[in-house]
Structure formats: structure tokens, C-alpha cells
Amino acid sequence: MPLAGGSTGMDAFERLETAIAGKTPDRIPVSLWFHFGSEHLPPETVARLHIEFYRTYRWDFLKVMFDYRLELPATVDAGHGIDLDTLLWETDWQAPFARQRDCLAILKGQLGDEVPLVETVYSPFMYLLRHVGHDHRQSLLDRPEPVAAILDRLCEEACRHVDALKEPAVYGVFFATTAGSTVAGSSELALQAPRDRTVLDRASGLKRFLHLHGAGASAADLADYPREVLHSDGNDLAELRKGGEKAIMGGLPHASLTRMSLASVRSQIAGAIDSAGRAGFILAPGCSVSPSLARRTMLAIRNSEHLDTTAS
């Protein structure tokens, strides 16, 4: 797919590496992503969906969506709450990670070094809530000791998963956490933060995209989280810059993007670049966009003339 302004000198890896180093590439790297609703599909089909999506738009990196869930024992939530003992001892914790790695192996085999692959990895606490339901959040926080044992198990599997990413030479990890959001009180932060840092430390050697998920997510509480790129769900880019981050990512409003005209999209991109600057910036949505986002909108983002840093 031709880009606005014609051919450029950098490939996707060089462009992304330059931005992550805090420098200015030939074009500001750009990507976006959405959930394919693919948990019921085999890894071969999920990989094919990702490949077709990438090859249609030629993003500067492909964020691989991790939509496989734990197959919880039927008795885990048969009553009014969560049976934590059953959850801990009768869940096949490895299954979703194994299916995801099958998908990644296919992607790496098909795409090779064509595009950087960035695997999605969740905070162990986010994995737990995604599987048992966010409405159980407070009841889980009220039982910190058994929940800690479950989170340790999830942390162990997440670390094994990260270790496995280094064999097929996956480029990076998109690590999502709610630890810095306004809804995460001190008890949730205490459960999340040590395990989050364990997974991020284990991902050393990969490019770590730290995604602050949730309303009002703050980087201040997560200053000791290792990362190469800071990606925020809705935070002002100029404020992120003031924190001294070498590389930041964001700029596109994921929730309202489907309702925006092309003129508004172009204006949004220009404003994001003005706020973030051209060095050390990656254009992306604050979080997953709707799969109903129009093709013409995605093409307008991909081919935006505002991304060209070589224009006079």
C-alpha cells in the first residue's frame, strides 16, 4: 500500500526503533487494533485474521490480540460468589497461553521479519477479572490471601509466556494494567504492582509498551514499572512528555473514532503531534477501537500526511 508522500527510506523496524530511542524517524510510526471476537476460533484462523488486517493497512507494528480465556470449572461460580479453592486447583492455567503461542508461531512463520509483532500481555489481576467478571472485583479484594495465591499462579504463567516469546523473536510486549487508574485503590495496587513488575522484569530484552488502562490512569504511581514506551488510555500527551518519557504512544480517541469525520480525524492527528512532538512518538488509539471502524478511516490514519517528518 503506497503511503502519503511516496516511498520512504526506513522499514517498519527501523522506524519503530528510532521512535522508541526518542528520536525522529522518517514517518511517525502508526498502528491501531481491535478485538476480533475470536476466542471460539482455532489459532490458525486467528492468525489469518491478524495477517489480513496487517496486509490491508501495513501498520508499523502488529499488536497481537490475546482473546483466549480460561476455561473455568463449572462450579467456580455456581453459587453467589467465586469458589477460590476450585479456581486455584482445578483451572487449566496453561491452556489459553498455549493457544496464543500457537497463533504467534503461525504469525511469525507467515510474516517473518516483515513487521514487528507486539504481543498483548495483561496484568495478572486483569487476567483474573477478565475471566471471572469485573463485578466480582470487590469480593476478590476482600479476600486478599487466597486471591494472592491465584494471582501468583497467573503471574507464573504470564512469565512463562513472556519467556516463550523470545524464541520466535517477537518484537515486544504490550503490557496492560489498571494499577494506575482512579478505580484502583491501595488494596488493588498492592495486589497488582509486585506481580506486574515481575512480568515486566521477565520481559527484559523485548520492547515493553506499558499500557495504563482505565479512566484517569496515572503514570506517577507506576514510576518504577520498567518500560520502553508509555501508552496511556486518554491522558494528555503533553503531560506525559513532562514526565520525561523517552517514547510515548497514543493520540487517537478510541471510543469516539468511529463517529469522527475524516476532517476531524486529520485534525486529531495534527493536534496529537503538536502535543507530543515528532521525536519519540507513536500514533495509536488509547485503547482497542471498535471493529466497526470504517476502512476509509483506517486508511486516512495510515496515510496521513501529518506523519511525514521529512516534509518541509
The alpha carbon of residue 202 and the mean position of all alpha carbons in its chain are separated, in whole angstroms, by 17
Q: Tell me if 7 is assigned to some domain.
A: no
Q: Tell me if 2 is assigned to some domain.
A: no
* SS3 of residue 88 by DSSP: helix
53 Cβ partners below 8 Å, 6+ apart?
62
Q: Tell me if 217 is assigned to some domain.
A: yes
pLDDT of residue 19: 98
pLDDT of residue 312: 47
Q: State the residue for C-alpha cell 484517569.
A: 216
Q: Tell me if 107 is assigned to some domain.
A: yes
Q: Whole-angstrom Cα distance, residue 124 to residue 153?
A: 9
Q: Tell me if 5 is assigned to some domain.
A: no
On the 0-12 / 13-18 / 19+ scale of CB atoms within 10 A, 3 is: middle
Rounded to whole angstroms, what are the CA distances from 21 to 32, 159, 247?
A: 21, 25, 7
* Domain range for 275: 12-307
Q: Whose CA is closest to 249, among 33, 29, 52?
A: 29
Q: Whole-angstrom Cα distance, residue 226 to residue 229?
A: 9
How many domains in the chain? 1
Q: Under a CB-based contact definition with an 8 Å cutoff, are residues 34 and 293 in contact?
A: yes
What does the pLDDT profile of the chain (312 residues) look like in tens digits?
445 444 458 999 999 999 999 999 999 999 999 999 999 999 999 999 999 999 999 999 999 999 999 888 888 887 778 899 999 999 999 999 999 999 999 999 999 999 999 999 999 999 999 888 888 888 888 899 999 999 999 999 999 999 999 887 799 999 999 887 766 677 888 889 999 999 999 999 999 999 998 766 677 778 899 999 999 876 688 888 888 899 999 999 998 999 999 999 999 999 999 999 999 999 999 999 999 999 999 999 999 999 999 874
CATH number of the domain residue 275 falls in: 3.20.20.210
Q: Whole-angstrom Cα distance, residue 120 to residue 118?
A: 7
118-143 per-residue burial string, b: 16 or more CB within 10 A, e: under 16: bbbbbbbbbbbbebbeeeebeebbee
Question: What is the value of pTM for the model shown?
Answer: 0.94
> Cell for 155?
503471574
